[in-house]
Amino acid sequence: MTDPGFLLSRVGAAVRAGFKDVLAGWGIRPQQYLILLILDARGGASQQELCTAARIDSGNMVELLDGLEALRYAQRARDPHDRRRYVVTITPAGRSALADLRRAVGEYNERVLSPLTGRERRQLAATLGKLFATTAEGRGR
C-alpha cells in the first residue's frame, strides 16, 4: 500500500495507541502530559492560559486538572492578586513523574523511530511539522 493518507492514518493510530500505553503507566492521558510539560516550562499558569497554550476547551481542562490533582501531580490555588482566578502549578510529585515520563516517552520514540536514520528522523519531523501547520489545530483554531 502506497497511499500516503492511509499510511499516515495507520501509523498514527499505532503510534497514538503506544503513546497512550506509555502514559497509562502514570495514570495520565496525552493532554495531561502536555499540561505537565507546559506547567514545568512556565512554573505555573492560570486555567485560561493553559487552555490557550494547550488548545484545550475550558470544560475539558477542568476534568484534566481534576485528574492531575487526584494524582498529586498538579495543584490549583486562588491567585493572591485576583481571587476570581486560579493558578495551576506542578507539584514536586508531578515534577518527579514528569522526569520519569520524559524518559519513558524518549524510549518509546526511540523504539518507534528505530527503523529510520538520523537524517530520516529529522526529515520526518520537518515534514510532519509542515503538514501539521495546515491543520485546524496547527493553525490555532
Q: Give pLDDT tens digits for 107-133.
A: 999 999 999 999 999 999 999 999 989
CA pair distance 131, 17, nearest whole angstrom? 21
- The runs of H, that is alpha helices, within the chain are 4-24, 30-42, 47-54, 58-70, 92-113, 118-132
Instruction: Tell me the CA end-to-end span of the chain in Å, nearest whole number.
Output: 32
Q: Where are the domains of the chain?
A: 4-132
**Do residues 68 and 123 touch, judged by C-beta distance below 8 A?**
no
Instruction: Give residue 98's identity as a one-letter amino acid code.
Output: L
**Do residues 75 and 91 touch, judged by C-beta distance below 8 A?**
yes
The residues pairing with 79 across neighbouring beta strands, listed in sequence order, are: 82
Q: Give pLDDT tens digits for 12-33.
A: 999 999 999 999 999 999 999 9
Q: Looking at the domain that runs over 4-132, which CATH code has it been given?
A: 1.10.10.10
Q: Is 42 helix (H, G, I), strand (E, B) or coil?
A: helix
Question: Does 83 score more than 70 pLDDT?
Answer: yes
Average pLDDT over residues 80-109: 95
Q: For residue 71, what is its C-alpha cell?
A: 494524582
